[in-house]
Amino acid sequence: MFKFSSAEEEWKIKRQLLLEKKVRSVDVKEAFRLSKENNFVILDVRPEAEFKEAHPEGAINVQIYRLIKEWTAWDIARRAAFAFFGIFSGTEENPEFIQSVESKIPKDGKIIVACSAGGTTKPTQNLPEGQQSRSLIAAYLLVLNGYKNVYHLEGGIYNWVKEGLPIVSDED
C-alpha cells in the first residue's frame, strides 16, 4: 500500500479546499485581460529579488516564503526538510503573508496569485493530485482567511514571459 508523506497529505487537503472554494486557474493571456479590464490584481508571491527582476506591470509582491535568517540547530534542520521537499533551501513560510496582503488588497478584491511555475490542481497520470506550487499554497491561505475572488495563474510568470506579455523591472 502506497503511503503519502505528510507534505503530500497536506497538499491533498489544500487541493480539496481550493476545489471546494472554486479557485479557478487562468492562463496568462486571460490573466492579462482580467488585470486590464476587470480590476484583478496580480499578487506575485515569489521572493522580492525575483519580483524586482521582472514582473507583470501593476503586480503586487508579497513573498510567501522568506529566507531563514537564524542558524540554530532547529533552523538548520528546517532548511534540510524544506530542501528535501523541493522548496529552495534556506526558506520558511512568511508569517506575515496574510497581514501583508490584507494591508494591500481588501477581502473583496479580485486576485490572481502568481509564482514562477504555477502548479495545477488538475490531475494527470503521473500526478493524480495535480502539482503543488507557491501560488496554490498562497491561494489556499487567502481563501482560508476570507478572500472570495481568488484565481490562480497557470504556468506562472515563466509562461507570462514566454508568451511575450508585458513585464517591468525594478532594477534600474
Residues with catalytic roles:
115
- Measured distance CA(171)–CA(51) in Å, rounded: 10
Q: What is the DSSP string of 57-86?
A: TT-EE--SEEE----SHHHHHHHHHHHHTT
Provide the β-strand partners of residue 114.
44
**CA–CA distance, 162 with 81 (Å, rounded to integer):** 32
